[in-house]
Structure 1
Amino acid sequence: MNKESGKSYTVKEATLKLMQYCAYRDRSQKEVEDKLTQMRMIPAAREEIIIKLMQENFLNEERFARSFVRGKSRIKKWGRHKIKQELKLKEVSSPVIRLAMTEINENDYKSTLYALAEKKIPLIKETNPFKKKKKLYDFLSSKGYESHLILEVIDDLTS
């Protein structure tokens, strides 16, 4: 049981709490809606709070998506597929996802993919070269990279 579930909030208290929640790091609208539901706010109050957060720029879906893309590609080294999938799970709209994906620099993206592959190859304990390539492919694919890029990297690094 959550600590919030027993307490009831006024709209003003909930708004302040959500302002702090959004100021800590960018949040998606779904995360904010989930938080308000968790706080047991009625739908009319949730809508009012979300509108206020947007007006005061605490909640900005595009800013959230852009920072999410930057963080996941640079820090977690995720590929485009995985990033898009996660944004869809957070109910970010397709146009905003397309805009946010422009945060990925193509050269950085490819060099990250190469670096991941170069680091992974020595760790694969497989003597059969085909199985080794398959394991590398599966690993890079699970990180969300596109197949044509993975195949390009595997060809470059294993030939």
Structure 2
Amino acid sequence: MNKKDLTQKEIEYKIQNYCSYQERCHSEVYNKLKEFKIEEQMINEILSNLITQNYLNESRFSKLFSKSKFNIKNWGRIRIKNELRKRNISSYNIKLGLEEINEFDYKKKLDQIFKKKLSTLVGVKNDLKKQKILNYLKHRGWENNLIYEKINKI
């Protein structure tokens, strides 16, 4: 069956399954609905139904996204914030998501990542070691002041 031949109910059912499988943001679901080549009005109706039925919830997405990227991918707040912005999440929900990260756990995670990266740089000159750690942690979205606190102790 072609995506174009589906009724609104069938599309809605498929999108409900899509949202049930993994937490999704509005823009991901919108893009998925665009693949069905349906009118904008139908897309908006389906999105509205998904929000009403609690399949789509921006604050829930933001909180889960922040927690998982911090815990699993070792991302810092800057990277998480930028990735949420890319997904058109509101500033309010970005703030809610970032509040899910405990300050103590945040610094503890930075310490773990720092030590792990430092252990891979045995035999490297100090200046190069500092530069590599700085680049590594900045790429992962950690704040400069926290990175420099760690680097200055080498």
Using structure 1 for the length normalisation, give the TM-score: 0.92
Task: Name the structure 2 match of 1:23.
Answer: 20
Structure 1 gaps of 5+ residues are none
- Deviation, 1:140, is 0.7
Cα deviation code 1:1-32 (max 9, x no counterpart): xxx8x422211111111111111111000000
Q: Does 1:130 align with 2:133?
A: no
Residue correspondence of structure 1 range 6-17 to structure 2 within 5 A: 6-8=2-4, 9-17=6-14
> Match of 1:63?
60
User: Identity over aligned residues, as a percent?
Assistant: 37
| Equivalent pair of 1:126/1:132 in contact (CA under 8 Å) | no
Give, as a single letter, the amino acid of the residue that structure 2 aligns with 1:20: N
Counterpart CA distance in 1 for 2:109 and 2:143 is: 13
Aligned to 2:141: 144
TM-score in terms of structure 2 length: 0.95
Q: Where does residue 95 of structure 2 map in the other structure?
A: 98
Which residue matches 2:43? 46
Task: Please list every run of 5 or more consecutive structure 2 residues that lacks an aligned counterpart in the other structure.
Answer: none
Secondary structure of the corresponding residue to residue 73 of structure 1: helix
Q: Does 1:121 align with 2:118?
A: yes
Give the RMSD, CA atoms, in angstroms. 1.3
Between 124-133 and 95-104, report the one with greater CA deviation: 124-133
Shift of 1:136: 0.7
Partner deviation per Cα, 1:66-95 (whole Å, 9 max, x = no partner)? 000000001111000100111011111111
Please report how far the alpha carbon of residue 128 of structure 1 lies from its aligned counterpart in structure 2 after TM superposition: 2.2
